[in-house]
Chain A
């Protein structure tokens, strides 16, 4: 044991101080990973909730909270390590039978989700954690039960990955419903609703297997590593399930900048397709993933959205980026896009088939690197806005069931056109 630790200390990218702290903790059953960067406003209550969740769900287990901090300047790490479990006990009347450790390490001076996750995985491997969970510091409504829901199936039932499902507004998570979910489902054959999740549970063995992959050194593992993790679990035929957590509320509800989000998600998905080709090329159709709780709940209250602006950005993009699209897309697809870009606001319709072909052609061009890969991802942004307009119009008055039916129809279109992607993949110059 001591020898292994010394070897790890010599070879590891973890700091000596962090390694010392980990060695002091010893082996654990449960590990909670908490990547942070300037989250002082919320981190205190989140750590309280995590501690409460551990006390309620796993009072007999050896547990640790690992905070991987990306250079916070607001004292976030001190808040994580400073929260006492005694603050939780009086309110909830809960008692842990073991010491609950909270340790923090600064992995870099700026936030890098990939390095943060790698740090947590390395800590989990060193501590031989049986079940781990990654929690988001931005979840405004995290509940203690989330820990049991994400960790329970792993610790008690021997599963390897638990991804969440949420109660969402029908117009939230449009990149997930229009691209990530249908495409991962069609390609990898498993219906994982939130393949790119801010919080999820995983087994120590899955974490160790992923830690040993090449993606950390080839530059592809930095952005969207959470998605790569889910895809690696599917590709590796690990046991996966989904767990319904309830409503998801972010601390700040402003729309994230689309391009960085596309890099983290679509970029990560496209990057994974090349090494995973032997896996996804032989998959046909899709299977549902086992789910505890509700499959997916949809909120329907009215939401004000500037569709006109989105459509204008689509039309401008199609007109201005013609030369870029000619490098990425087939002439037929470019012509179709130009045709719909000229449509009026009420007639505007970006059909599912054209959207799927667009995405598949982007994926194939990404693999062939016809131009800079980052430029390919950026060029998708205006087209995604166009697809969003159609989705908003199609589901303007739709019920929860209607929205689900439309998403299902899109998923089936992705599955139906999968041979088109294979054709592009194998024969495109």
Chain B
């Protein structure tokens, strides 16, 4: 009995040792991959940060309105965030590559899914950034046009346009990421519809007098005022 136990134990220990010996090179490969990945990710971060500073990405981000959002959330600059993001994605990619070398069943599938998800993540970030940029640009264009045309409440108009674009961009981003597609679609429909209804009610009820004055000014007195302002700038 005693001998049997000793034999089983030694057999188990041998199997563990064999298993460890079998996994050790893979573990070393994984650690090497993680270390090399860290170096590559770090270099990628430094290079990207330099390029972004060179092309004044922070200014672009400021124009997009992203910098204001980041500073309100006490986050670093857009350049820093993007550099760090690339660092972590690159390093995580190498770590997962190392993990896949270990040959653990089930984990490989998850790793493959992660790599398949990466392009979508980048596309989503791209859409988000340029969507914010477009929202900022078009809302400012609307604000300037409204002010110069002497349209009442230009800031409301600009804010409404900005909100519509942002809601639209967010819905595309979530769809691209594949996150709660149905929920986002419904939420977008509700938010967009509510916004339009709100604007209609606001203009119809709250801005009734304003609209009347505006129309009166445009139709009844417009011609007179235009004549009074006949000053050629050139």
Contact = CB atoms under 8 A, between A and B. Distances in A.
B150 interface: yes
Contacts of B145: 378
Nearest to A379: B144
A209 interface: no
Given A176-B234, A256-B234, A372-B140, A305 B148 contact: no
Given A305-B228, A306-B229, A316-B150, A375 B141 contact: yes
Interface in B45-71: 59, 63
B231 A388 contact: yes
A371 B233 contact: no
Contacts of B207: none
Contact of B143 (A172, A253, A259, A320): A320
Given A306-B225, A313-B150, A324-B143, A372 B137 contact: yes
Interface string B213-234: 0000000000001101111111
A254 B140 CA distance: 28
Give the most central of B140, B144, B155, B230: most A CB within 10 Å: B144
B147 interface: yes
B144 to A, nearest CB: 4
Contact of A265 (B154, B155, B225, B234): B234
B228 A175 contact: no
Interface residues of B, number: 23
A393 to B, nearest CB: 14
Interface in A344-382: 370-372, 375, 378-379, 381-382
Q: Per DSSP, are chain A's interface residues mostly helix, strand or loop, or mixed?
A: helix
A55 B226 CA distance: 42
A303 B226 CA distance: 14
Q: Per DSSP, are chain B's interface residues mostly helix, strand or loop, or mixed?
A: helix
Nearest to A255: B230
Interface residues of A, number: 39
Contact of B148 (A172, A304, A381): A381
Interface in B130-156: 137, 140-141, 143-148, 150, 154-155
A250 interface: yes
A379 B144 CA distance: 6
A351 B129 CA distance: 41
Contacts of B63: 371-372
A171 interface: yes
B154 A255 contact: no
Contacts of A320: 143, 146-147, 154-155
A381 B231 CA distance: 14
A324 B144 contact: yes
Interface of B: 59, 63, 137, 140-141, 143-148, 150, 154-155, 225-226, 228-234
5 contacts: A174-B233, A253-B230, A259-B148, A317-B147, A324-B140
